[in-house]
Structure 1
Amino acid sequence: MLGLTLPGDTVLYLLLPLHAAAFGVSLAEAGLLLAANRLVRILGYGAVARFYTRRGPRAACLLAVLGAAAAAAGYALAHGVWWLLLARLVWGLSFAAMNIATQALATALAEGAARRSGVSRAIISTGPMLGLLAGAALAEFAGPRAVFAALAGVALLALPFAWGLPRGPGEAVQTAGPRFGIPARLDLWSFVQGMALDGVFILGLSVLAAAALPQGAALAAGAALAARYASEILLGPPAGRLAERFGALPVLIAVSLGSAAGIALVGFGALWAGAIAVVALRGLLQPLPAPVAAAANPGPARVPALARMATWRDMGAGAGPLVAGVLLPLVPPALLYGGTALALALASLALLPRLAGARGR
């Protein structure tokens, strides 16, 4: 489902800043629109998780697929910030439902959870990768509106998959604690990971691609963003197998430290080497957080923990572009990317006591 519905969101990140005037918004309003779906997820994940528990994956995902198609149609038809904002809010809640269902179903059984998560991530990433490449090409010839009209139709193809999910109530879950209280170590890592890899690094990678290929900026930026999803397709399943063999948490710590090193390389001038390293390691990292959170929160605490972790990641991913956009013109890249790399490394090392505790049991 996410493989068919997610392209509407990822392609908007590519086309809205490049064609803001065609949508009737300023660049500042475009930034607001790109952040809005994360804001509604931060506020709404708990309510979506409760709806998932009461109504189950089929009902939640059927509504989510229809919402995703409606959001993409809104991008194709709406003009001006308010209607587009409504479409972004609908998409944010739709993604929250499908994301919770995907992670909850993949981790329902502890045995093989990391392997299933890796395969699932590879399938999901195929859609955004192809959508970015095809959407960038189509926008060059038909304009951005036609791209989203096509993606609305693609999203509706997910309805049969949603219908095939289990009906009836979902598994019982505990009421999650305060989502904005003191975060657990894994929540803090999720925030920093979202800020570093989904915020600061992605913005830098897009700028780098556009600067290297000034002609055809949409194609250049689309290819750069698509490389992230290609790495998840290729490396998601191997990451699951590594986690099954060595444990999801130690692999997550090692890959996070490697990602921090790659971000530091970008800041200190080895732009392409650092970018390739981070993109490749991102493919290994993506399937790992859900099994780690599930193992640390067994039983009915699992789904609230997944939703809470996703909330912290969304906050980080929303803060990252703002941090980069404000600081990049003011400070040297070495300071911005070096500081980001240091924050990710420290958040990863903070998980070592949890690893020692797991080995002691």
Structure 2
Amino acid sequence: MNASPAAIADRDARNAAVALGLALPVDVLLYLLLPMYHDLFGVTLAQAGILLAANRLVRIMGYGWVARRYARYGDRPACLWAVGSAAVCGVGFATLSGFWLLLPLRLLWGLAFAALNLSTQALGTILPEGASRRYGRSRAYIALGPVVALPLGAVMTQLWGPRAIFFLAAGAALLGLLAARILPATPHEQPAARRGLRLPNSLDIWSFLEGLTLDGLFIVGLSYLGKDALPGGAVVVAGSLLAVRYLGEIVLSPVGGRMADRAGPERVLVALSLLTALALTGFGLGWLWTCSAIIVVLRALQLPLVAPIVARRTPGPGRVQALAARAIWRDIGAGFGPMMAGLLLPLVSAPWLYGVPAVLLGWAAIACARAR
């Protein structure tokens, strides 16, 4: 008996998410370990910062190239290449030292993540019916890898140093080949090439501001403003704190997807963005831990919303390129946010630094709903 289109879409979205979830520890473990043990990787702290930003920079420039090839060859070839590349990066991080040897691996990972991320979004929204629920569930599968890898990596680092865990991360990425090999190999339609510059729309601006505030200003500000209240620099504590963020995605992203399917993703986006703006304002006013917990919850609930909105507004051959454009704008914001925080936190009062972007985030969400 043939499976229904909805069941096939659920299966493919789940397999793409599992492939990304198994590849992701290669990246998240480096965020945990490289700043703490940069000397053991043969780099300075400044070089470590560049390496951690390199994957976003290459995605900003290369997402369009990846999207065209992903659309041309389909999910199976793209994801097989991507998880294989993640395994190569894991072995490299375990064995190589020095900035110029690690930089190509970070650039390779950036392109691999772009392919896997596009596949999860495209397959999660391939059917309009249930897209928010399907994509919310896939976000939970994606987060499983980091939730397991971060505490395990922290413990292994205390026992055997920061390198050994990357061999396990490479092995996990190779397991992702099992999920990637059963993905569909059907190419995706591509729109006719557009010439000239395109001004950002309301959803682009919201994606930029969400990356700027939640993946940039908030993360850096939590460390900077809460450094006196945080426990010592034990790697286990840091790994556990990072794992909590992904645990929130496992529990709450499916909830956000179901909310969007019932009430409409634009309405949920506006409500959650306005609540996020209030929480960011409170964070800047000094209620660090209460507002941090609220922001983590709201971020997890918002993750499944944008891709279904894009799919509804850009049906047909333009869908993959539109999904890539949203990812680019979020990466630009997430890349600019830490630099902005590092420059302005010592100079500008926190209520202004977080209050102004919070207002802009709420305004952008309202603009997205009005543009529907």
TM-score by length of 2: 0.91
Q: Does 1:132 align with 2:150?
A: yes
Q: Does 1:341 align with 2:358?
A: yes
Deviation sequence 1:223-266 (CA, Å, 0-9, x none) = 22222211111111111111111001110111111112111111
Q: 2:226 touches 2:288 (CA, 8 Å); kept in 1?
A: no
The secondary structure found in structure 1 opposite 2:74 is: helix
The count of residues paired between Structure 1 and Structure 2 equals: 354
The secondary structure found in structure 2 opposite 1:171 is: coil
Q: More displaced, 7-16 or 327-336?
A: 327-336
Trace 1:60-71 onto structure 2 (pairs within 5 A).
60-71=78-89
What RMSD in Å do the two structures reach over aligned CA positions?
1.7
Partner residue, 1:269: 286
How far apart, in 2, do the equivalents of 1:210 and 1:178 lie?
Answer: 48
Partner residue, 1:189: 206
Report the alpha carbon displacement of residue 349 of structure 1 after superposing the two structures with TM: 2.4
Match of 1:105 among 123, 127, 145: 123
Report the alpha carbon displacement of residue 22 of structure 1 after superposing the two structures with TM: 1.1
How far apart, in 2, do the equivalents of 1:155 and 1:176 lie?
Answer: 34
Partner residue, 1:325: 342
Partner residue, 2:55: 37
How far apart, in 2, do the equivalents of 1:154 and 1:179 lie?
Answer: 42
How far apart, in 2, do the equivalents of 1:294 and 1:41 lie?
Answer: 21
How far apart, in 1, do the equivalents of 2:343 and 2:153 lie?
Answer: 29
How far apart, in 2, do the equivalents of 1:137 and 1:176 lie?
Answer: 50
Trace 1:203-352 onto structure 2 (pairs within 5 A).
203-207=220-224, 211-352=228-369
Report the alpha carbon displacement of residue 176 of structure 1 after superposing the two structures with TM: 6.0
Partner residue, 1:114: 132
Report the alpha carbon displacement of residue 177 of structure 1 after superposing the two structures with TM: 4.4
Match of 2:183 among 146, 151, 165: 165
Deviation sequence 1:2-45 (CA, Å, 0-9, x none) = 11111111121121111111111111111111111011111111
Partner residue, 1:16: 34
How far apart, in 1, do the equivalents of 2:148 and 2:57 lie?
Answer: 26
Q: Does 1:153 align with 2:199?
A: no
Q: More displaced, 250-259 or 89-98?
A: 250-259
**2:25 counterpart letter in structure 1:** P
Q: Residues 335 and 219 from structure 1, CA distance in 2 versus in 1: closer, same or farther, beyond 3 angstroms?
A: farther
Runs of 4+ in 1 over 6 A off after TM superposition: none
Deviation sequence 1:61-90 (CA, Å, 0-9, x none) = 100001111112221111111111100000
Deviation sequence 1:101-130 (CA, Å, 0-9, x none) = 111111111111111001000111111122
How far apart, in 2, do the equivalents of 1:204 and 1:155 lie?
Answer: 32
The secondary structure found in structure 1 opposite 2:34 is: helix
Q: 2:75 touches 2:184 (CA, 8 Å); kept in 1?
A: yes
Q: More displaced, 66-75 or 332-341?
A: 332-341
How far apart, in 1, do the equivalents of 2:354 and 2:26 lie?
Answer: 29
Q: More displaced, 226-235 or 341-350?
A: 341-350
Partner residue, 1:51: 69
How far apart, in 1, do the equivalents of 2:332 and 2:66 lie?
Answer: 17
Q: Residues 207 and 150 from structure 1, CA distance in 2 versus in 1: closer, same or farther, beyond 3 angstroms?
A: farther
Q: More displaced, 345-354 or 95-104?
A: 345-354
Report the alpha carbon displacement of residue 333 of structure 1 after superposing the two structures with TM: 2.1
Q: 2:205 touches 2:364 (CA, 8 Å); kept in 1?
A: yes
The secondary structure found in structure 2 opposite 1:18 is: coil
How far apart, in 2, do the equivalents of 1:120 and 1:251 lie?
Answer: 19
Q: More displaced, 84-93 or 196-205?
A: 196-205
Deviation sequence 1:272-330 (CA, Å, 0-9, x none) = 11100000111100111100111111111111100111011111111111111111122
How far apart, in 1, do the equivalents of 2:225 and 2:164 lie?
Answer: 27
The secondary structure found in structure 1 opposite 2:188 is: coil
Match of 1:198 among 215, 218, 237: 215
Structure 1 spans left out of the alignment, 5+ residues: none
**1:69 counterpart letter in structure 2:** A
**1:187 counterpart letter in structure 2:** D
How far apart, in 2, do the equivalents of 1:146 and 1:298 lie?
Answer: 45
Q: 1:206 touches 1:221 (CA, 8 Å); kept in 2?
A: no
**1:16 counterpart letter in structure 2:** L
TM-score by length of 1: 0.94
How far apart, in 2, do the equivalents of 1:247 and 1:202 lie?
Answer: 29
Q: More displaced, 175-184 or 101-110?
A: 175-184
Q: More displaced, 314-323 or 135-144?
A: 135-144
Structure 2 spans left out of the alignment, 5+ residues: 1-18
The secondary structure found in structure 2 opposite 1:144 is: coil
